Amino acid sequence: MYNYLSGLKLNDITEAQQIQKFFYYIPQSNILPLIYKENKITEKHPDLSGECNILIFNTSKAATDTKRIVFIDQAQEFDFNTGKVVPQTSGKQRKYPIFMFLNSHNKYICEVRYGNKAANALQRGWWSNTKKASNYFTSICKDWITYNERKDLIKLIEQALNSSILGQQKANVILKRDIDKRKHL
């Protein structure tokens, strides 16, 4: 993804055709990220290892809303007030350059990060900040859930993601029957 965008040799991509061409290569399905918080152990729940939230990133909405893709180098940041790339003035310097995707109001949607072999998973690839782009995410869980108490749910989601559409449809029928039963208790 990063190589494709850098190959355009543009620091500010605004042409709709080029933006849509990028999204053409992204499967028109939603991305399902697992966001987690560690160290939530308390006296009340000493066995708790952490919490997670399973979210869907709406790639179709991101593709429709993206009006600008801006290159931001290591010593730069994006000024959301002016809509310009400026020298970085605050915080820790960016380790790797990115391409930031923005809507028509210069609001953040997502980014494509560059990272070489030394980079961790958060320093490369397609990435989005769940706080900055909250309207592009839908929570499957509706809230944070704990890992230890919901192992069956995590296993169910894992299996659903790896099963066929027919398998998912059959599982939905079984789950719907169970939900209906519980409503009548």
Residues 75-115 pLDDT 10s: 899 999 999 999 988 777 777 899 999 999 999 999 988 86
The predicted structure's pLDDT at residue 91: 76
CB-based contacts of 52: which residues, under 8 Å, 6+ apart? 34, 35, 36, 37, 141, 144, 145, 146, 147, 154
The span from the CA of 111 to the CA of 131, in Å, is 14
- Going by the DSSP 8-state scheme, the letter that residue 32 receives in this structure is -
Query: How distant is the alpha carbon of residue 181 from its chain centre?
Result: 35
Map out the domains of the chain as residue ranges: 2-146, 148-185
Containing 167, the helix (H) or strand (E) segment is helix 165-183
The predicted structure's pLDDT at residue 129: 86
- Residue keyed to tokens 């894992």: 158
The predicted structure's pLDDT at residue 47: 58
Coil vs helix vs strand at 53:
strand
CB 141 within 8 A of CB 53: yes
Residues 146-166 pLDDT 10s: 766 677 877 888 888 888 889
* Residue predicted with more confidence, 121 or 19: 19
The predicted structure's pLDDT at residue 146: 73
